Amino acid sequence: MEFQKPILYGERLMRIAYQGEPGAYSEAAALRYSDHADVLPCESFDDVFRNVASGRATHGILPVENSIGGSIHRNYDLLLEHDLPIVGEVELPIRHHLLVLPGTPLERIERIYSHPQALAQCERFLRDLPSVRVNPTYDTAGSAKLIKEQGLADAAAIASERAAEVFGLERLRSDIQDYSDNITRFLLVGRSGEPDLVPDKTTVVFSLTNAPGALFKALSVFALRDLDLTKIESRPIRGRPWEYLFYVDIPVGRQDLRCARALVHLAEFARSLRTLGSYQSWRARESAAAAAEPTA
């Protein structure tokens, strides 16, 4: 791929906030979106939003869905709580490795640390280590940092190859995830997107009156206009037990006439409706990058 000029927002370089330590998969996703971006590690997903809102970062990146482990519900809630639109997405293949202090044999390991999602994605591997205690932590790379800083010779972390490099650990076992097609989808949020990109995906959230056929009626506004839905996620509405918000991904931009008309139709009877973002999909971004590569 040809070298890309740094993306500037006003006079600033693109700076992407992410949750975790250096070597986290969220950092890898940020650099996959833009390999020349500056990155800002944060302790929590809430901090990611705060740093973007305050101007310390131009964008934030959030994992929202894994092809094996499912949705990261907290980040769907945060998208609604904050007024920062979705401006892009990234799909990142996830490869997990068992990391230890150099020279540590497998039979010496008594504890394994990692994020709950990573532990769930390596269930088969962990099942073959019945005497090892599994300890959930806030971050995969943070688990690697724990092993290094505390000199834990009887423990291991499940994390990325880059985390091994950052913290000077050894890969005792590689590719220990249960499935090879382990992919996490991330959303990029920010006060502005890249102005030259044409959106081809839209994410909306809506709520409905609890009545027979309400959801069928809501989905029909898309079906009647031959619009596919690539994702539907329901989340409970706080303070209103057994009522739900519905997050929907539509594979066209908000400017598409069919999408615009569908949302106007939905707004006629939805209790609430909000567009969370209209942006370029990862598939479109990859296609554009491939088309820009010089031919032999």
- Catalogue the active-site residues: 184, 186
Give the 3-state secondary structure percentages of the chain, helix then strand then coil, rounded to 5.
30, 30, 40
What residue type is assigned to position 161 of the chain? E
Amino acid type, 180: S
Residues ≥6 apart with Cβ < 8 Å to 187? 61, 62, 64, 75, 79, 86, 88, 89, 203, 277
Tell me how far apart the alpha carbons of residues 188 and 276 are, in angstroms, rounded to a whole number.
11
Q: Encoding tokens for residue 193? A: 């997107």
DSSP state of 2: P
Distance (Å, whole) CA 72 – CA 78: 11
Cross-strand bridge partners of residue 176: none
User: What is the identity of the amino acid at 200?
Assistant: D
Q: Give dist(CA 62, CA 169) in Å, integer.
A: 26
- The DSSP call for residue 108 is G
> What is the DSSP code (8-state) at residue 68?
T
Residue 69 DSSP label: T
Structure tokens given for 32: 């996959």
- Structure-block tokens of residue 71: 């949705």
- Helical pair 73-81 and 45-54, crossing angle rounded to 10 deg: 30
Q: Specify the residue for token string 């394994």.
A: 112
